[in-house]
Structure 1
Amino acid sequence: MEAAHRRVAADLADQIAAGLWAPGDQLPSRASLAHHYGVHEQTVRLAMVLLRSRGLIEGEQRNRLRVAHPPVMRTLIRPDAGWPYQTEVTDRSPCRATDELADRLGVQPGVRLQREAIECMDPGGRSAMLVSSWWRGRRRPHTSYVIELGVVALDAGQAHALGLTVDTPAYRLARTRLDAAGRAVESADLILPMDRWTIRL
Structure 2
Amino acid sequence: MEAAHRRVAADLAQQIAAGFWAPGDQLPSRASLARHYGVHEQTVRLAMILLRSRGLIEGEQRNRLRVAHPPVMRTLIRPDADWPHQTEMTSSSPCRATDELADRLGVPPGVTLQHQVVECMDPGGRSAMLVSSWRRGRRRPHTSFAVELGVVALDAGQAHALGLTVDTPAYRLVRTRLDASGQAVETADLILPMDRWTIRL
| TM bracket, shorter-chain basis | over 0.9
Aligned to 1:32: 32
Structure 1: 4+ residue segments shifted above 2 A: none
Measure how far apart 1:137 and its partner are.
1.0
Aligned to 1:136: 136
| C-alpha distance in structure 2 between counterparts of 1:78 and 1:135, whole Å | 21
Aligned to 2:48: 48
| C-alpha distance in structure 1 between counterparts of 2:171 and 2:81, whole Å | 17
Aligned to 2:187: 187
| C-alpha distance in structure 1 between counterparts of 2:188 and 2:20, whole Å | 42
| C-alpha distance in structure 2 between counterparts of 1:84 and 1:159, whole Å | 23
Q: Secondary structure at the match of 2:123?
A: coil
Q: Secondary structure at the match of 1:34?
A: helix
Q: Secondary structure at the match of 1:139?
A: coil
| Counterpart amino acid of residue 165 in structure 1 | T
Measure how far apart 1:139 and its partner are.
1.1
Measure how far apart 1:180 and its partner are.
1.0
Unaligned regions of 5+ residues in structure 1, if any? none
| Counterpart amino acid of residue 39 in structure 2 | V
Q: Does 1:125 align with 2:125?
A: yes
| C-alpha distance in structure 2 between counterparts of 1:120 and 1:7, whole Å | 36
Identity of aligned residues (%): 89
- Match runs of 1:26-175 below 5 Å: 26-175=26-175
Q: Secondary structure at the match of 1:151?
A: strand
| C-alpha distance in structure 1 between counterparts of 2:95 and 2:49, whole Å | 33
| Counterpart amino acid of residue 191 in structure 1 | I
Measure how far apart 1:2 and its partner are.
1.2
| C-alpha distance in structure 2 between counterparts of 1:68 and 1:89, whole Å | 24
| Counterpart amino acid of residue 64 in structure 2 | R
| C-alpha distance in structure 2 between counterparts of 1:170 and 1:126, whole Å | 16
| C-alpha distance in structure 2 between counterparts of 1:27 and 1:179, whole Å | 50
Post-superposition CA distance 1:36-61 (Å, at most 9, x none)? 11111000000000000111000111
| C-alpha distance in structure 1 between counterparts of 2:34 and 2:27, whole Å | 12
Post-superposition CA distance 1:56-93 (Å, at most 9, x none)? 00011111100000000000000000000000011110
Measure how far apart 1:26 and its partner are.
0.6
TM-score normalised to structure 1 length: 0.99
Q: Secondary structure at the match of 1:94?
A: strand
Unaligned regions of 5+ residues in structure 2, if any? none
Q: Secondary structure at the match of 2:100?
A: helix
| Counterpart amino acid of residue 199 in structure 1 | I
Measure how far apart 1:115 and its partner are.
1.2
Q: Does 1:19 align with 2:19?
A: yes
| C-alpha distance in structure 2 between counterparts of 1:184 and 1:154, whole Å | 26
